[in-house]
Structure 1
Amino acid sequence: MKYIFLLLATIAGMLQLHAATVDTINVRSAQMNKDIKAVVISPENKKATSTLYLLHGYSGNYASWIKTAPHIEQLVDTYGYLVVCPDGGFNSWYWDTPKNNYLYESYITKELIPFIEQQYQVGSDRINRAITGLSMGGHGALYLAFRNQDLFAFAGSTSGGVDIRPFPDNWGMKTHLGEYHQEPKTWDAHTVIELTHLVKPKSLELFIDCGTEDFFFEVNNKLHEKLTYMNIAHHYLTMPGKHNGEYWARSIDFQMAFFAQCFQKVTLN
């Protein structure tokens, strides 16, 4: 964590006057039979070798992150890795739920990643991939990373809904999973905090943060406690803040510094 703060302390002096390249692309999902947009942020005048997949929250879209934290462009230039912000649907939670033709886990892991790596010529090893996101996207990032450790070496979450079960009537989740009181096992299988048993020793480097006034603060604390109890190494940061864009515009600095540290270690090795 100390290294992350040192990185943040030097960002102001490192930011360049020019900004990264921001593209909006369409990626075909054969499984869902539709084109899905994504924002891709590339460092200017620098060849990226690693990629961070950055997921939006409930009711957001592919452009949410760049609107919430436009200085991501400067962070990409500073750190030199690719950032991809895919559209995850209004309320997909990044699950595969075939009855609604929501196959966003399969889309990201089987369709988007190969497209990005071919189109942008970035590294295709798991050590060149990270995933994080906010709220629904924080849940989605850890959900996808825990279930696909062959694809991701680094993962995070900011203000993540890491246990969905205290919120059975919120955010349209029951349209995908059924009523919680009728389908508790289905809900257990689709909530991050119940998937920690999937994490292999030393498989993932994790960074989780949440604001202390966030309605997801308690579930993030519970996940932190469970990861600690299970001896799963992770970084956990809490800061003053609510579940809003003001907090995420600050937390992305810590998230991206963490992944820069991860990718730098890969390069040095």
Structure 2
Amino acid sequence: MKKLIALFAMFMGLYTSHAAKVDTVAVQSQRMKKQVKTVVISPENEQAKAVLYLLHGYSGNYSNWVQRAPRLKELVDTYGFLVVCPDGGFDSWYWDTDRTEYQYESFITKELLPYVEKNYHVTASRSHRAITGLSMGGHGALYLAFRHQDLFAFAGSTSGGVDIRPFPNNWNMKQRLGAYHEHPAVWDEHTVIELTHLIQPGNLQLFIDCGTEDFFFGVNNKLHEKLTYLNIPHHYLTMPGKHDWNYWSRSIDFQMAFFNQCFQQTNAVK
């Protein structure tokens, strides 16, 4: 963690231009029978080999990150990897459900990744892919990474809803999973904290952060404790902050620094 913070501090002192290229593309989803808007942020040199998939939160959309955390463009130029922000729907939680329009797990893993790797000059390998997000998107990033370790080598979450069960009446989740008291097993299968058994030793590098005044702070601590108990290596950062863009605009610096380290290690091995 000290190396991560030192790296972040070093880059904070560098001058970087705001020349990152921002595209909004419409990715056709055959599974959901619709087009999904997606923001793609490319570094100035447009020679990125690695990709970070960055997910938005509940009630948000594909444009949130680039609009609410404009420093993201500067960070893309500094680190030189692609950032892709797909629309995850108002309340999808990035699950597949029995409704055609809610197949976001399949969309990201089976449609979005191939689209990005066909249309941008990035390397199509798990060691060049990372995924993270905020709130609902933090849950979604870990949920997808735990279940698809063949696709992602690195994953994170900022202010993530990493255990949904303490909030059975919130954020339209019961419309997707059924009522918790009637379908507890289904909720267990769709909550990140109950999927840690899927993590293969040494297969995922993880970075999790949360503000100390966030209503998800408790469940993030529980996930950290469980990962520690299971001897699953991970980085866990807490900072003062609430569940808002003031916090996420700061936390993205640490997230980006972490994934940059991951991608640099991949290149060093080669």
Which amino acid counterpart does residue 196 of structure 1 have in structure 2?
T
Instruction: Give the distance between the partners of 2:18 and 2:183, measured in 1 at CA.
Output: 52
Q: Deviations over 1:121-178 (max 9, x none)?
A: 2011100000000000000000000000000000000000000000000000000000
Give the equivalent residue in structure 1 for 2:16.
16
Contact 2:54 2:85 in 1 (8 A): yes
Q: CA RMSD in A?
A: 0.8
Give, in angstroms, the shift of residue 5 of structure 1.
1.0
Q: Scaled by the length of structure 2, what TM-score is found?
A: 0.98
Residues 16-25 or 149-158, more deviating: 16-25
Contact 2:63 2:85 in 1 (8 A): yes
Give the equivalent residue in structure 2 for 1:241.
241
Residues matched between the structures, number: 269
Give, in angstroms, the shift of residue 219 of structure 1.
0.1
Q: How does 1:92-241 map to 2 (within 5 A)?
A: 92-99=92-99, 101-241=101-241
Q: Deviations over 1:238-258 (max 9, x none)?
A: 000000000000000000000
* Matched-pair identity in %: 69
Secondary structure, counterpart of 1:96 in structure 2:
coil
Instruction: Give the distance between the partners of 1:255 and 1:15, measured in 2 at CA.
Output: 19
Instruction: Give the distance between the partners of 1:46 and 1:10, measured in 2 at CA.
Output: 23
Which amino acid counterpart does residue 209 of structure 1 have in structure 2?
D
Instruction: Give the distance between the partners of 1:209 and 1:12, measured in 2 at CA.
Output: 19
Q: How does 1:59-74 map to 2 (within 5 A)?
A: 59-74=59-74
Instruction: Give the distance between the partners of 2:134 and 2:267, measured in 1 at CA.
Output: 27
Instruction: Give the distance between the partners of 2:249 and 2:205, measured in 1 at CA.
Output: 22
Contact 2:17 2:77 in 1 (8 A): no
Contact 2:41 2:73 in 1 (8 A): yes
Give, in angstroms, the shift of residue 46 of structure 1.
4.3
Which amino acid counterpart does residue 217 of structure 1 have in structure 2?
F
Structure 1: unaligned runs, 5 residues or longer? none
Change (3 A) 1:100 1:114: closer
Instruction: Give the distance between the partners of 2:103 and 2:15, measured in 1 at CA.
Output: 38
Instruction: Give the distance between the partners of 2:195 and 2:220, measured in 1 at CA.
Output: 14
Secondary structure, counterpart of 2:13 in structure 1:
helix
Instruction: Give the distance between the partners of 1:262 and 1:210, measured in 2 at CA.
Output: 20
Q: Deviations over 1:39-87 (max 9, x none)?
A: 0000002410000000000000000111121010000000000000000
Instruction: Give the distance between the partners of 1:209 and 1:34, measured in 2 at CA.
Output: 33
Contact 1:142 1:157 in 2 (8 A): yes
Q: Scaled by the length of structure 1, what TM-score is found?
A: 0.98
Give the equivalent residue in structure 1 for 2:260.
260
Instruction: Give the distance between the partners of 1:49 and 1:100, measured in 2 at CA.
Output: 33
Give, in angstroms, the shift of residue 231 of structure 1.
0.6
Instruction: Give the distance between the partners of 1:15 and 1:141, measured in 2 at CA.
Output: 31
Q: Deviations over 1:211-250 (max 9, x none)?
A: 0000000000000000000110000000000000000000
Q: Deviations over 1:4-39 (max 9, x none)?
A: 111211223323223200000000000000000000
Which amino acid counterpart does residue 165 of structure 1 have in structure 2?
R
Instruction: Give the distance between the partners of 2:68 and 2:237, measured in 1 at CA.
Output: 20
Instruction: Give the distance between the partners of 1:18 and 1:243, measured in 2 at CA.
Output: 27
Secondary structure, counterpart of 1:210 in structure 2:
strand
